[in-house]
Amino acid sequence: MTFTGEIYPGGDRPGGAGAQPHEADGEMGRWGDTVDDRGRPEDAGFTSSPHRPIPPSDGRGPGSDERRGETRRSRLSASLRRIRALLRKELRQIWRDPRTKRLVLAAPVVQLLLFGYAVTTDVHDVTTIVVDHDRSQASRSLQDALQAGGYFRIVQTTEDSRALARALDHGDATIGLDIPRGFEADLAAGRGARVQVLVDGTNSNTGTVAQGYVARIVQQYGLDYARAHGAALAPAVDLRTRAWYNPGLLSRVYNVPAVVGALITLMCLLLTSLAVVRERELGTLEQLMVSPLTATELILGKTVPVMLIGYIDLTLVTTMALLWFGVPFQGSVLLLFAAAFVYILSALGLGLFISTISRTQQEAFMGMFLVMMPIIILSGFMYPVRSMPLFFQRLTLLNPLRHFLEVVRAIFLKGAGVAELWPQLLAMSLSAIVLLSLSIWRFRNSIR
Amino acid sequence: MSDAALVVSGLSRHFGDVVAVRDLSFEVRRGELFGIVGPDGAGKTTTLRMLAGVLPPTSGDALLGGVSVARAPERAKPRLAYMPQRFGLYDDLTVRENLDFYADLYRVPRADRPARLERLYHFSNLGEFEGRLAGQLSGGMKQKLSLSCCLIHHPEVLLLDEPTFGVDPISRRDLWLILHQMVAEGVTIVLSTSYMDEAERCDRVAMLHEGSVLALDTPARLQAGLDGTLLSIRVDRPRAARAALQGEAGVRSAALFGDSVHVLLDAGVDPEWPARTLVAAGVPPTSVEPVDASLEDVFIDLVARSGAVPAGGAHA
């Protein structure tokens, strides 16, 4: 069996690597079927003469690729080409991994639905039990007034005071209204009537808001009653409030834009740390370190795809917020994207940091949760920063997400521009610089 | 510059109090197939990782074509390839994509690629699996793909950590064919192995034990250098036979080789003596023959002489 240079003259055969190797294989016979032909299969691995002739090399000496023209410009272009190679590989892997794809596309939808519908602090349809000892026209019209706004829904009307306690205990009702005997008589006599309101304070937020609504409704009722019955009791000051930027005081309008921030944080922390740690687990990180790829190139190749994903999610959430949830968008899209860039840098820094303290994907996951929780809680995402104790309010100033959420909400709802938002943008830039440099420094050391 | 592709001088690595590699010095000539042999824990992987520039040495250095791998790894890296024992392939990329990725990283010119791929496919037989995901290849195929990924940029020096570990005999043979071809083309190969039969295929061998080189020479000279008489004793109960001989005066070492015992006697000791001793000990031998020393015998003798007791044999 001879097979030498004539088929691959100089190795520069036209036609590329497409079809011919297969023919060549066929001609020479493949390994499995020709062991007998070669004899001594038990010797496999210990014969020094190559049985399978090998076509000549392409004529270049070993190691000749990297050492041509080492000028600064060629070094830069070499560097860019390596980054591009890594980017292509990363995007290919992300695209091929159904889990990542699900995460990137499904997470925004799920979070939007949750924060658009489920997580709501709006008070409406509050279950109410009424104990009506009076059974009068006045007590019935008070109940009508209570239900009229849609805020309260009377689930039971009874004369038994014990039923009220039971309903609150069992959670059948959040509000209990007790109308005493003589309610109408007192009103008619102008003596001033009393009603008792009991509130289930377990959910302090709903409780407080509902309490306020009841008080206002009852008060208004009293005024209307007096007016209808000829007594002109105009209040000294008539307070009329109007909420700007979110006239309906819908929590959706407040929450939905903020999903952008939570989502970008999640993606950057998770995908960056996993992208690095996965290679460490596979052992490929060491190979990348042996290759001419530098730490900086590695970091860029790992973070740029994540940034891209961050922007995909930003676009997705913004579009859904506008088209589906009808959240107003007053500001500049360009500013939103620019602010997101600064914030993403911080988040990528944190993701890299997690990758330096994790050896396995599991550890990276745990590290992510450890970092994610305080960032979310101290951001004003769910709980307004202003209702926190002063110490924690100050602490939130170190949290880039807090600033980013302020920026996002201000752009969405108030149409704020750089003139109003520069302090937040400055804070975010500072945190991006600090977090990124710290992480890159740690990352360089961790892969050594 | 001499014809040395790799000059190692005083290379040491400590992990805390543990000395993994102690004061290693040797030279590897251009185009040489150099073996680092020793049992697990001898320091083979640590040595190779230092040579690859992945692990900074505690002291000492290695010059790769005159470039320090410790001080200027970025200049040394493009000229070497390192295949760790567990070379990680990207399972979710195809054979071709894995190869392309490394070709891109090392900036193999586009025009050269078809020819190089063709060659690699040719001796790895991976051509017909070009479009298959690496995760779906068999173990031997994966190893060949790993080696191909290391070779795509034509390294001057190829560092291989137990390249045939866990590979089936056929793929093992394929891998050795590739290695010999690379050496024939002028590539320098440094490989580690714990298989002594593989070590015998190297041009020169460094025997590593507990981080130190016990001996360094060609396999033939190492074998010839074993003075004394080597006997292969077939016996029903080899363990009992070894116990009866070990430590006796004149016995330099006694080690199990399958169902026989290899006994190395000091020069001048009567070769009939072990048989008599074994009969007296109640483990009569079925045959006693003088044999040529294998590298394993040499290694066991060296370890015995260095004062440590080898655990069972060098195959550990």
Bridge-based pairing of strands B188-193 and B212-217 is: unpaired
- Is the pLDDT at A39 greater than 60? The verdict is no
For position A343, what pLDDT does the model report?
Answer: 95
What does the pLDDT read at residue A239? 66
Q: How many CB atoms lie within 10 A of CB B300?
A: 25
* pLDDT computed for residue B307 by the predictor: 67
pLDDT at residue A234, rounded to an integer: 56
Residue pLDDT, tens place only, B133-174: 998 988 888 888 988 999 898 899 999 998 888 788 888 888
Question: Which of 196-215 (B) contact A at CB < 8 A?
Answer: 197-198, 201
Domains identified in chain A and CATH numbers: 100-118+249-446 (no CATH), 126-228 (3.40.1710.10)
Tell me: pLDDT of B74 over 90.
no
Mean pLDDT across A117-141: 83
pLDDT for the residue A121: 66
**For chain B, how far is it from start to end, CA to CA, in angstroms?**
39
Residue A207, both tokens: 């409780």
| Residue of A35 and A156 predicted with greater confidence | A156
Please state, in angstroms and rounded to a whole number, the distance separating the CA atoms of residues A372 and A107. 16
Residue A342 confidence class, pLDDT cut points 50, 70, 90: very high
What is d(CA A9, CA A96) in angstroms, rounded to the nearest whole number? 39
Average pLDDT of the residues in A140-162: 86
Kindly tell me if the per-residue pLDDT of B308 is higher than 70.
no
- Say whether residue B177 is in contact with chain A using an 8 A CB cutoff: yes
The whole-number average pLDDT for the span A410-430 is 90
Q: Look at residue A427 in the predicted model and tell me its pLDDT.
A: 94
| Mean pLDDT, residues B280-302 taken together | 83
Among candidates A265, A245, A243, which has minimal Cα distance to A410?
A: A245
* Domain boundaries for CATH 3.30.70.100 within chain B: 223-305
Q: Which residues of B touch A82 (CB under 8 A)?
A: 104-105, 107
Assigned CATH topology for domain B223-305: Alpha-Beta Plaits (3.30.70)
B175: distance to nearest CA of chain A, Å?
A: 8
* Long-range pairs, A143-146, Cβ under 8 A, ≥24: A143/A177, A145/A217, A145/A220, A145/A221, A145/A224, A146/A177, A146/A214, A146/A217
Q: Which residue of A has its CA nearest to B155?
A: A63
Topology of domain B4-217, per CATH?
A: Rossmann fold (3.40.50)
Distance CA(A31)–CA(B144), nearest Å, equals: 14
**Which of A30, A31, A54, A302 best tests the B interface by mutation, with the highest count of B CBs <10 A?**
A54
Closest-CA residue of B relative to A56 is: B119
- Please say if the pLDDT value at position A119 is more than 80: no
> Do residues B38 and B207 touch, judged by C-beta distance below 8 A?
yes
Which pLDDT band, with edges at 50, 70 and 90, does A232 fall under?
low
pTM of this prediction? 0.71
**3-class SS of residue A70:** coil
Within an 8 Å CB–CB cutoff, is residue B170 touching chain A? yes
pLDDT tier at A64 (50, 70, 90 boundaries)?
A: very low
10 Å Cβ neighbour count for A222?
A: 16
Cα separation, A341 vs B9, whole angstroms: 49
**Which residue in A35, A37, A286 has the most chain B C-beta atoms within 10 A of its own C-beta, making it the best mutation to test that interface?**
A286
Boundaries of CATH 3.40.50.300 in chain B? 4-217
pLDDT tens column, B125-140: 888 898 999 989 888 8
Angle between helices B169-184 and B113-124 (to 10 degrees): 140
Best residue in B117, B122, B158 to probe A by mutation, most A CBs within 10 Å? B122
Instruction: For residue A121, give the nearest of A191, A180, A189, A206 by alpha carbon.
Output: A206
Name the band, by pLDDT with cuts 50, 70 and 90, for residue A339. very high
**What pLDDT, on the 0 to 100 scale, is given for residue B259?**
82
Contact A286 B84 (CB under 8 A): yes
- What SS3 state is found at A44? coil
Task: State how far the Cα of B277 lies from the Cα of B284, in Å rounded to an integer.
Answer: 9
The CA-atom distances, in angstroms, between A149 and each of A141, A213, B170 are 13, 10, 83
Q: How confident is the model at residue B124 (pLDDT cuts 50, 70, 90)?
A: confident
At residue A243, the pLDDT reads 67
Distance between CA A439 and CA A348 in Å, rounded? 9
Please give the mean pLDDT across all residues of chain B: 85
Shortest distance between the Cα of A105 and any Cα of chain B, in A, equals: 20
Using one digit for the tens of pLDDT, what is the confidence trace for A84-109? 999 999 999 888 888 888 888 888 88
